[in-house]
Amino acid sequence: MKELPKTYDPGDSEDEIYKKWESSGFFNPDKLEGGNDRFWKAEVFSMMMPPPNATGELHIGHAMMLTIEDLVVRHARMSGKKTLWLPGTDHGAIATQNVVERKLWEEEKKTRHDIGREELLRRIDEFVGQTRGRIQQQIRKMGSSCDWSRERYTLSPELSLSVRTIFKKMYDRGLIYRGERLVNWCPRCGTTLADDEVEYREMPGNLYHIRYPFKNGKGGLVVATTRPETMLGDTAVAVHPDDQRYKKYIGESVILPILNRELVIIGDKAVDQKYGTGVLKVTPGHDMQDFEIGKRHKLETINIFSPDGKVNGQEAVDHAFEDFAGLTAEEAREKIVAVLQEQGFFEKTEGIKHNIAQRNVASGRRK
């Protein structure tokens, strides 16, 4: 008799067992060994595997997901249902691009601009091809009983066509619409990021107090903001309609310092009476809350930044802030504060802690 080893080595048996499972065709609902389809009942069960990002290796979260799904699938199969578990991998979008770009810089000291779009796409495809293979083997190691003959990749031609077709149908039926919305924009990558791709961290910062004079020349309102550079895109000033300090000013106008743009004072319940001075500068083009306020009050939306993260030259011409065109946000902030101080509109700076969008270290994504 063969002596059993004192410790279990999964490599001695598990790979062979899985190969037998896979080659038997039992994971394929349309193909059983011997071609006998009479086992199946009329009832069917299908499930798509949430595709892991093709940016590296699986982690403990994937292991838990695969284990639970495999239990559900095997239960359905053993209940006599015609069962399909569809496997696949995701292209990873900006996360994959970041990994490839970082690798390109570390190994060749080149950027995506140096090699061009076509070569970048080729290298991304090559990288995904390698990581997909590794992920596929890891899923097999888990013993997942999915039908590999139907495996899909999110950027495969048939899936891309399906996505475009469904979006077209949804648009035609009025279920989705096209319109301007604020997005998380990455000037380095030149693309949008989903909300869950942006990580917020509490960091020290400043609250800048700026006086907006009334149009009639008698006094003014003091606005407190963490981003004075965005005042180039201000189209209103808002106060809470129940704020006893300011409700009497609703409907009047103030003058935007530096640009001399007339701004109406509006009442909106989104304003936090306890934050800063309780007076909010409304910049619909660069703040999610301001965007919603702008929609409610039909305010103009001014985009003060171009895709490279600098003050927008075209908007600068149209809205008369040419002196700041081409500056980064930090440079524009410094210059605006200096001009406000020079013109007597700057009140004070207050040190605070606030949440700032930061690079998502886990995925290599950044705002």
Of 172, 205, 231, the last residue of a domain is 172
Whether 62 maps to a domain, the answer reads yes
Whether 182 maps to a domain, the answer reads no
Interhelix angle for 117-141 vs 14-24, to 10°?
A: 100
Do 129 and 201 share a structural domain? no
Q: What is the pLDDT of residue 41?
A: 56
Among 278, 185, 280, CA closest to 227: 280
Number of domains the chain is built from: 2
Whether 162 maps to a domain, the answer reads yes
Do 153 and 25 share a structural domain? yes
Do 236 and 135 share a structural domain? no
Q: What is the pLDDT of residue 233?
A: 95
Residue with the two structure tokens 């409700």: 247
Residue with the two structure tokens 């699986």: 58
Q: What is the CATH classification number for the domain harbouring 230? A: 3.90.740.10
Among 334, 258, 268, CA closest to 297: 268
Do 145 and 65 share a structural domain? yes
Do 220 and 78 share a structural domain? no
Q: What is the pLDDT of residue 321?
A: 92
Domain that holds residue 303: 197-358
Q: For residue 116, give both structure tokens.
A: 């061009």
Q: What is the pLDDT of residue 52?
A: 84
Q: What string of pLDDT tens digits covers the 367 residues of the chain?
A: 778 878 888 877 888 999 999 888 889 988 754 444 555 556 899 999 988 887 777 888 889 999 999 999 999 989 888 899 999 888 877 778 888 988 999 999 998 889 998 999 899 888 888 888 888 889 999 999 999 999 988 888 888 899 999 999 999 999 999 888 888 888 877 788 878 778 888 889 899 999 999 999 889 999 999 999 999 999 999 999 999 999 999 999 999 999 999 999 999 999 999 999 999 999 999 999 999 999 999 999 999 999 999 999 988 888 999 999 999 999 999 999 999 999 999 999 999 887 877 644 333 333 3
Among 306, 343, 342, CA closest to 327: 306
Cα–Cα distance for residue pair 145/271, rounded to 1 Å = 54
Q: For residue 88, give both structure tokens.
A: 């696949």
Give the number of residues written for the chain: 367
Residue 194: count other Cβ atoms within 10 Å of its Cβ: 11
Do 272 and 205 share a structural domain? yes
Burial class (CB in 10 A: 0-12, 13-18, 19+), 266: buried
**DSSP string for residues in 183-195:** -EEETTTTEEE-G
Do 164 and 52 share a structural domain? yes
Sequence-ordered alpha helix ranges (H) in the chain = 14-24, 60-78, 93-108, 112-115, 117-141, 157-172, 288-297, 313-318, 329-343
Among 137, 154, 22, CA closest to 88: 154
Q: What is the pLDDT of residue 331?
A: 96
- With contact defined as beta carbons under 8 Å apart, do 176 and 315 qualify? no
